[in-house]
Amino acid sequence: MKDITLGQYYPSDSFTHKMDARVKLVLVVAFIVAVFLAKNFLSYIAVAACVICATLVSRIPISKMLKSIKAIIMILIFTGILNLMFYNGETVYWSWWRFNVSLEGIIFSVKMVLRLVLLVMGTTLLTFTTTPTGITDGMESLMSPLKYIKVPVHDIAVIMSIALRFIPILSEEVDKIMMAQKARGASFDTGGLVSRAKALLPILIPLFVSAFRRADELALALDARCYNATPNRTRYQVMKFGWRDLAGVIGTAVFIVLVVALNNNFWGAYQSVEAAWWLFAV
Amino acid sequence: MQIKAENLNYVYSPKTPFEKTALDNVSFTVNEGDTLGIVGATGSGKSTLTRHLNALIRIQSGKIFLGDVDLSAKRVDLKEVRKKVGMLFQFPEYQLFADTVKKDVEFGPKNFGFGDKEAACAAEDALRSVGLDIKEIGDKSPFELSGGQMRRVAIAGVIASKPEVLVLDEPTAGLDPVGKREILSLVSELKKSFVKTVIIVSHNMDEIAEYCNRVIVLDNGKLIADTTPDELFNRSDVVDNTELDYPHTVKIKRMLSEFGFEIDSPALNVEALVSGILGRLKS
Amino acid sequence: MDENARVSNEVVIKADGVDFSYRSGEYVSRGVTGINLEVRRGEFLVILGRNGSGKSTLAKLLNGFLIPDEGIVTVMGTDTADENKIYEVRSKVGMVFQNPDNQMVASVVENDVAFGPENLGIPRAEIEERVTEALETVGMSEYRKGSPNKLSGGQKQRIAIAAILAMRPDVVILDESTAMLDPKGRREIMDTVMNLNREKGMTVVLITHYMDEAIEADRIFVMNDGKITASGAPKDVFLNYDKVKAAGLELPVASKVSKALIEAGYDLPFAITDEELAKSICRLKQKI
């Protein structure tokens, strides 16, 4: 009954949803680089604008995005306070024992928090707009050159795909086993640490037994479907680099150029052109 | 002990896009001595309903009374409730975990506060009533047993704490004909001793027809019939609209009546069908 | 398809004097002994037996999952013990298992169906064609882009059948593929199997403990304790109640009823389907 949505794919028919998963993966990496490139507030604004544009294009509700930030709110607060306290700035406002709150500290911690928020927004945008299967397929495709140095790319992809398929099945099973043991009077939330850990055995053992039994049958099923029959395996799913992908790449490139340019307060703009070439070359 | 459910409602993941109503204003009563069948298509709310009966799911709205215990009250003694209402899940052999059969069967009784000696006695009794000898298999690992034996050990694990009410979710799923008969006659035997009330959830109408004296039908979370098997399988409107099936003997009876050979008796099992046909042939 | 044209004399699988037992260390447990059987092209063959009778062991011998200790199994002339040709054997003899959840590898239906042909190195365009055809055959085309997680047991099992069909096998073996399903799911699978055999002429071997699934078989093999104890057309086998009972199986309801009526002294033929029974009772009534 329980609806388990793996990852957090948000079904829609938007521009971003229709993009090639490989391109989205590369762009997210590029975006992460851009976040770390950003030095001053102006360039941070450029990165933020990039995320906001991407969010608008992908038609993900703003509330959804905010929720993903809410999930890491504790980490944000922690990072902010830590940086605030320990940054050795010159313009000290307040000081106690080893803690100094300075103007530079405030600026630095705001930047750090901003950086985290932007990173999370960018990466969740990927998981919101790409199915887990899409991400696996995209990774397999991007990693395929590794085949030539004998990395079993395809096996890794099959393993990931099977894992994706079985996570919801097994989590439903945990639910059932827990219910069954509760019906036999087991309780999982009383007692000390040791007795709580012990109380988990009646769940973990049946779960492992079941996982092994499933693995056994799955192995037969893979054999029945001639897994590893030929090294010249073909692929059914083909990914196409389309106009949307080109638009996405250009858009992201523009923002990266902007970030680098703003970093150097416009004068170093020529450097950014080089960075843009780098992106196009990929 | 009477079980009474009043205006039960239950919604999964409320206020999200995945919101799903599982129970919609369900009320019914089970009297002591009943063997109640709960039927309905997959996803009609049967599991949600049965899980309410021993407080595995918190009541969202409505009330359930087990005798005079109100399950919707703020403080409910969960152990007491779960001891009284034993629940056997589908494919119960998948919940076995202990290193010996004996320990697994004792798990329930010990959780419910039985002493070591009491629990050992309870395990021995329970294994005996499912047709297994504690001396022979008590020290074996449950995972060494055959599928049919494992299921019986799992049943022993539930009945060892001597529940008054036994709830069975698809107790015969996956068993062969002999295994099915064994489990169902075991349930009938238990009903003659300490188990006062049996509730069976099943897709198998032959079993419902043969073993239940009452049956309730769920459809999309609504209770749409509360009746006897005989009546239910005469109401083709209910059966056909809820993806239910007729017991095989009733199918034959209906086919005969299409051919103009009417039988008056309910024909819920082979003997009844045969005697109905014989009666008609003689008249 | 014409009844006589459907089953040909060509033998696709042949088991000759097969013995097999499971070994782990010194512990040997009985599998099957003295198995002789032939599967003919286009035939619907049912292997019946209770749990532990050896019927699944037999199934696994027919596509080279298990190799006989004694005797020989050949698939269209190829010995299943020949390791170099094992994939050839398995692509000809497709197998569907009991638990539909444990035989799917992908999170999208069409990708799962395409998995077999991909492994065989079939060109992309043809895979596309095969996936479409296989999903159509099992009546699941509309779920092509969906996730298998939300489907019912019967629907998942139909996808599993489609996944085997996409490899274009000569024989499909269903190893207790109905055992975990509810009656509705079982009916879906039986309809699919009958359609496959009667309309597409696919050779089907069905392993089960449900007698009523054997009613429409061309031939039945009853297994008990690792041996084939009865074989033949369904009616002939069911008439042999003692052997059926000894194997831990039950007659179909129609047979039980007609047997009871015959024993009560009425003159009517032994029936195996509901319709046969109903018609013969009506005829009897008219005579009286």
Kindly report, residue by residue over A49-73, the tens digit of the pLDDT: 888 988 898 888 888 888 888 878 8
pLDDT, mean of residues A23-33 = 90
Measured between CB atoms, which of C95, C127, C149 is closest to A236?
C127
Contact criterion met (CB below 8 Å) for C222 and C195 = no
Instruction: Measure A224 CA to nearest chain C CA, in Å.
Output: 6
Which pLDDT tens digit goes with each residue over C93-112? 999 999 999 999 988 899 99
Asked, for residue C271, whether it belongs to a domain, the answer is: no
Decide if C51 and B179 are in contact by the 8 Å CB cutoff. Answer: yes
Residue A4: which pLDDT band, with cuts at 50, 70 and 90? very low
CA angle B87, C154, B201 (to 5 degrees): 20
B150 to chain A, any CB pair closer than 8 A? The answer is no
Which residue range is the domain that position C92 belongs to?
3-251
DSSP β-ladder status, B35-39 and B214-219: parallel
Task: Delimit the domains of chain A by residue range.
Answer: 1-130+242-282, 151-237
Chain A: give the shortest CA distance to residue B82, in Å.
6
Q: Does B143 touch chain C (CB under 8 A)?
A: no
The CATH number that applies at residue C182 is: 3.40.50.300
DSSP, collapsed to helix, strand or coil, labels residue B62 as strand
Asked if the Cβ–Cβ distance from A224 to C94 is below 8 Å, we say yes
Which helix (H) or strand (E) segment holds residue C202: the answer is none
- Mean pLDDT rounded to a whole number for chain B: 92
Residue contacts between A and C (CB atoms, under 8 Å): 104
**Region C11-15 average pLDDT:** 96
A59/chain B closest Cα distance in angstroms: 16
Decide if C265 is inside a domain. no
Say whether C114 and A236 touch across the interface (CB within 8 A). Answer: yes
A67–B contact, CB cutoff 8 A: no
Would C227 be classed as within a structural domain?
Answer: yes
Which of C62, C65, C75, C102 has the highest number of chain A CBs within 10 A, making it the mutation to test binding with A? C102
pLDDT at A269: 53
Q: Is A190 part of the contact surface with chain B (CB cutoff 8 Å)?
A: no
Angle at B95 (CA atoms; ends B92, B96), nearest 5 degrees: 105
Do C183 and B248 make contact, defined as CB atoms within 8 angstroms? no
pLDDT recorded at residue C193: 96
| Mean pLDDT confidence for C227-251 | 93
Q: Does A1 touch chain B (CB under 8 A)?
A: yes
Say which residue the tokens 């099923």 belong to. A221
Q: Does the pLDDT value for residue C277 go beyond 90?
A: yes
pLDDT tens-digit map of C74-91: 999 999 999 999 999 999
Indicate the number of domains in chain C.
1
Binning pLDDT at 50, 70 and 90, where does residue C119 land?
very high
Give the residue from chain C lying closest to A235, CA to CA: C118
pLDDT of residue B45: 92
Nearest to C121 among A133, A217, A232 (CB): A232
ipTM (interface pTM):
0.91
Single out the residue of C158, C183, C248 nearest to residue B173, CA to CA.
C183
Q: Alpha-carbon Rg of chain B, whole angstroms?
A: 20
A6 pLDDT band, cuts 50/70/90, is: very low
Ranges of residues in chain B with a pLDDT under 50 are: none
Which of B48, B41, B40, B47 is closest to B9 using CA atoms? B48
Assess whether pLDDT exceeds 50 at residue A3: no
**pLDDT tens, A229-266?**
888 888 887 777 888 888 888 888 888 888 877 776 65
Task: Answer yes or no: is C279 within a domain.
Answer: no
Question: Does position A2 have pLDDT exceeding 50, yes or no?
Answer: no
